[in-house]
Chain A
Amino acid sequence: MSVDIPSTSGIEGKTLIHLFEKMLEIRRFEEKVWDLFGRNLIPGTLHLYIGEEATAVGVCVNLRVDDYITSTHRGHGHCIAKEARLEPMMAELLGKKTGYCKGKGGSMHVADASVGILGATAVVGSGIPIAVGAGLSCKMRKTDQVVACFFGDGASNNGTFHESLNMAAIWKLPIVFVCENNLYAMGTRISNVTAIDNIAQRAIAYGMPGVTVDGNDAVAVFQAARGAVERARKGEGPTLLECQTYRHKGHSRFDPATYRPQEEVEEWMKRDPIVRLRKKLTEEQILSEEEAGEIDKRIIDEVEAAAGFALGSSYPELEEALEDVFVRAR
């Protein structure tokens, strides 16, 4: 492993390896989740992030542990990228007592307050105003924390997007609005519901910079997010960062995604962000094939351990359904 070799992108080798590891962690975690779901071990539904890993990782690798993120129904990737631990995440997906939310949240509501994950909210667009509030709080408390607000192309057509980007811009809040444009809101193609080419074009209407990047290129996302995070941290205000990406699976576990043309799917599959970064790392001799394989094996072992932990954990006691409605018992 040659961590000191600068890549052609000018980014340190160790950073690129870290991007690779985190993306692979998300991929292997979700593949395991897919497997467990298929065996009826995960209740409810699933919105997999597979294919979009470069976006969450490229953004979150720029964040500190005390920075915040808001996440969505498709949130596993955001949480792992922001250093959520795999064991309580997996346990939460299985509805176990040892889960992050004691089994009350599930796949669509993972949170880890200790690393700034303010929680995944599953009403499309609902996390955007919450990110504005977190940004306002950072500004009022005079910290230099930053908020990364993840949402999809679908959410960009919700009223909360407009209200929130406007408010963040007028108050110069330290927020990076990360629009994961995966081209489809459920089965609705973005071009059918949006008359512009890129969501980031909307930024000009709010008086903030708008940047569109290839969301399947971890290096491109990392570099664009780095600029936006630095700008936010310096008090210069928010940025709208659009990452164009694609989900490998359907909207949810039960969606075969037949509304997507086969050629389009094939084209995007060729642009798998993990394959691309692995190729770059090996071509530039930052990692050997063997080393990349070892990383993969280690991550698979970690994911298996997390699954073992979750499967071996107890379900919550029934009375726990009645707890945590209010902070203090009335």
Chain B
Amino acid sequence: MKELTYVQALNEALREEMQRDERVFLIGEDIGPYWEGAFKVTKGLANEFGVERVIDTPISESCIVGAAVGAAMTGMRPVAEIMFGDLLALAMDQIINQAAKIHYMFGGQLKVPLVVRAPFGIGRSMAAHHSQSLEALFMHIPGLKIAVPSTAYDAKGLLKTAIRDDDPVMFFEHKICYPTKSLIPEEEYLIRFGEADVKREGDDLTLVATSWMVHKALKVADQLADNGIDIEIIDPRTLVPLDKETILQSVKKTGRLLIVEEDCKTCGVGAEISAIVAEEAIDYLESPIIRIAEPDTPIPFSPILENYVIPNEEAIIKGVEKILS
């Protein structure tokens, strides 16, 4: 085992997959030898594989994703980097109307084995255009798979799976998670999509969280364990496909569901999970579901305001207390 950061783990996944399969290539803004990615995820890769396979592009998000779609349709396995998740808005036609629909609308004749990587999330005072959590938008589009790793270990295993997957995958990397570390096995491993990870076992309440919120939830769970509260934390790891079974089994065991999500509350990830539990396990619930999410506002700049909208430990504790009362 070795200790790697989330960034290093992603970098290792890209390197291994590029070594394994010459069809894999990277395309994006400033990912090449001069900058090596805005967050250094592509560090060293242009030098190792050449600028023909680690392609710096003009600032043209629509064509970055579109070119990756076209390359994927014709035998390549591109990994596109969009520098910030917010900028996916510039490439929405290629993601929503093309990548997601090509396999279906052409009757299965063509496939789009594409990964779109995007750093996302709040917590660095980067304001309204560099902080959003948009993953729920993509959950609404049939044909896209969505990965949201919370740890370096998950990031590596999920990215390798994403690259080998024959469908388009939206891969959301949290900026706050980038420096976090995991123990990574020396040997190769993959993490299957649609398999949630129970980050902590417990009997009193089921807490579903993704990405950075998993870390916050774990902190709260450790703290509350001293008070005799035993929280089970489930990290779905992929939102599409979603491991409903693990969530439902846990809710059936604990009878309580708290969701901690970083996106806006309305039509967010938690809304979908709540609806699934309401449809399939409502009889097991001993108290109403609680969602702790960001309010329905753009992300403010000033740290004092930004901290206010981020679901924090205090809010999670209050949620736990309420659901158990």
A binding-site residues for B, Cβ under 8 Å? 68, 70, 99-105, 109, 111-113, 118-119, 121, 123, 126, 128-138, 140-141, 159-160, 163-164, 166-167, 170, 323-328, 330
Contacts and interface: CB of A to CB of B under 8 A. Distances in A.
B167 interface: yes
B93 to A, nearest CB: 5
Given A163-B63, A326-B143, A134 B73 contact: yes
Contacts of B93: 123, 126, 160
A167 B108 contact: no
A109 B66 contact: no
5 contacts: A129-B66, A130-B94, A140-B52, A167-B58, A324-B107
Contact of B71 (A109, A134, A324): A134
A130 B105 contact: no
Interface in B162-202: 166-167, 193-194
Contacts of A166: 58, 60, 63
Contacts of B25: 140
Contact of A328 (B53, B75, B76, B166): B166
Contacts of A326: 103, 143, 145, 167
B70 A137 contact: yes
A112 B106 CA distance: 8
B241 A134 contact: no
Contacts, number: 148
Given A128-B63, A132-B67, 17 more contacts: A101-B107, A101-B109, A104-B106, A118-B110, A129-B63, A129-B67, A130-B98, A133-B73, A140-B53, A166-B58, A166-B63, A167-B58, A167-B63, A324-B104, A325-B103, A326-B145, A328-B167
Contacts of B109: 100-101, 111-113, 119
A128 B94 CA distance: 11
A121 B98 contact: yes
B142 interface: yes
B102 interface: yes
Contact of A164 (B52, B66, B104, B145): B66
B107 A160 contact: no
B285 to A, nearest CB: 27
B223 interface: no
B69 interface: yes
B68 to A, nearest CB: 6
A119 B67 contact: no
B62 interface: yes
Interface residues of B, number: 43
A113 to B, nearest CB: 4
A140 B104 contact: no
Contacts of B98: 121, 123, 126, 130
Contacts of A141: 75-76
B63 A68 contact: no
A166 to B, nearest CB: 6
Interface class of chain A by DSSP: mixed
Interface of B: 25, 52-53, 57-58, 60, 62-63, 65-76, 78, 93-94, 97-98, 102-111, 142-143, 145, 166-167, 193-194, 241
A134 B112 CA distance: 12
A167 B167 contact: no
Contact of B106 (A105, A163, A327): A105
Given A126-B93, A126-B98, A131 B105 contact: no
Contacts of B76: 136-137, 140-141
Contacts of A163: 58, 60, 62-63, 66
A130 B70 contact: yes
Across the A-B interface, the 6 shortest Cβ-Cβ residue pairs? A133-B70, A129-B66, A101-B107, A163-B63, A163-B60, A133-B67
Nearest to B67: A133
Nearest to B25: A140
A164 to B, nearest CB: 5
Contacts of B65: 129
A135 B67 CA distance: 9
Residue of B66, B72, B76, B104 ringed by the most chain A CB atoms within 10 A: B66
Contacts of B75: 137, 141
B94 A126 contact: yes
A128 B57 CA distance: 16
B241 A109 contact: no
Contacts of A129: 62-63, 65-67, 69-70, 94
B67 to A, nearest CB: 4
Nearest to A173: B67
Nearest to A121: B98
B74 A137 contact: yes
Contacts of A324: 103-104, 107-108
Given A123-B93, A167-B58, A327-B103, A137 B108 contact: no
B33 to A, nearest CB: 17
Nearest to A92: B107
A166 B75 CA distance: 23
Contacts of A101: 105-107, 109
Residue of A70, A100, A118, A137 ringed by the most chain B CB atoms within 10 A: A137
